[in-house]
Amino acid sequence: VNEELNSVNEELNSANEELTVQQTKLVEANKAKDKFFAIIGHDLKSPFNSLLGFLSLLNSDWDLLDDTEKKTIVNKLYNNTMGTFKLLEDLLDWGKTQRGLVKSNKVVFKVKPNIEEILAIIKNQVKQKEITLNINVKDDFEINSDPQLFSHIILNLLNNAIKFTPKGGEITILSIDKNGVKKVCVKDSGIGFPNDKIDNAFNFDFNFNRPGTENEKSSGMGLILCSEYARIMNAKLSLESEENIGSIFCLEV
Q: Are 230 and 251 in contact (CB under 8 A)?
A: yes
DSSP H helices in the chain: 2-38, 45-61, 67-98, 111-128, 147-163, 195-198, 221-233
- SS3 for 42? helix
pLDDT at 163: 93
Q: Are residues 89 and 128 in the same domain?
A: no
Last-in-domain residue among 64, 98, 132: 98
Name the residue with higher pLDDT: 208 or 187: 187
Whichever domain contains 213, its CATH number is 3.30.565.10
pTM given for the model: 0.74
Query: How does residue 115 score in pLDDT terms, banded at 50, 70 and 90?
Result: very high
Query: How does residue 117 score in pLDDT terms, banded at 50, 70 and 90?
Result: very high
Q: Are residues 205 and 137 in the same domain?
A: yes
First to last CA, the chain: 52
Cα–Cα distance measured from residue 233 to residue 218, given in angstroms and rounded to the nearest whole number: 25
pLDDT at 14: 82
In our burial notation (b when 16+ CB lie closer than 10 A, e otherwise), range 131-155 reads bebeeebeeebebebbbebbbbbbb
Q: Which stretch of 4-18, 121-135, 228-242 has the lowest confidence by average pLDDT? A: 4-18
Q: Are residues 133 and 238 in the same domain?
A: yes
Q: Are residues 54 and 161 in the same domain?
A: no
Q: Are residues 112 and 231 in the same domain?
A: yes
Q: What is the pLDDT of residues 188-242, one digit of tens each?
A: 999 999 888 888 888 766 555 678 888 887 777 888 889 999 999 999 999 999 9
**How many independent structural domains does the chain possess?**
2
Q: What is the pLDDT of residues 62-103, one digit of tens each?
A: 999 999 999 988 888 887 787 778 778 878 888 888 888 889
Q: Are residues 169 and 198 in the same domain?
A: yes
Strand partners, 134: 172
Neighbours of 48 (CB within 10 A): 12
pLDDT at 157: 95
Q: Are 243 and 194 in contact (CB under 8 A)?
A: yes
Percentage of the chain beyond pLDDT 90 is 46
Q: Are residues 84 and 115 in the same domain?
A: no
Mean pLDDT within 23-35: 67
For residue 143, the enclosing domain spans 107-252
Q: For residue 129, which amino acid is it?
A: K
Whichever domain contains 33, its CATH number is 1.10.287
Last-in-domain residue among 67, 98, 129: 98
pLDDT at 33: 66
Mean pLDDT within 156-182: 95
Q: Are residues 57 and 161 in the same domain?
A: no
pLDDT at 15: 80
Q: Are residues 63 and 121 in the same domain?
A: no
Cα–Cα distance measured from residue 37 to residue 35, given in angstroms and rounded to the nearest whole number: 6
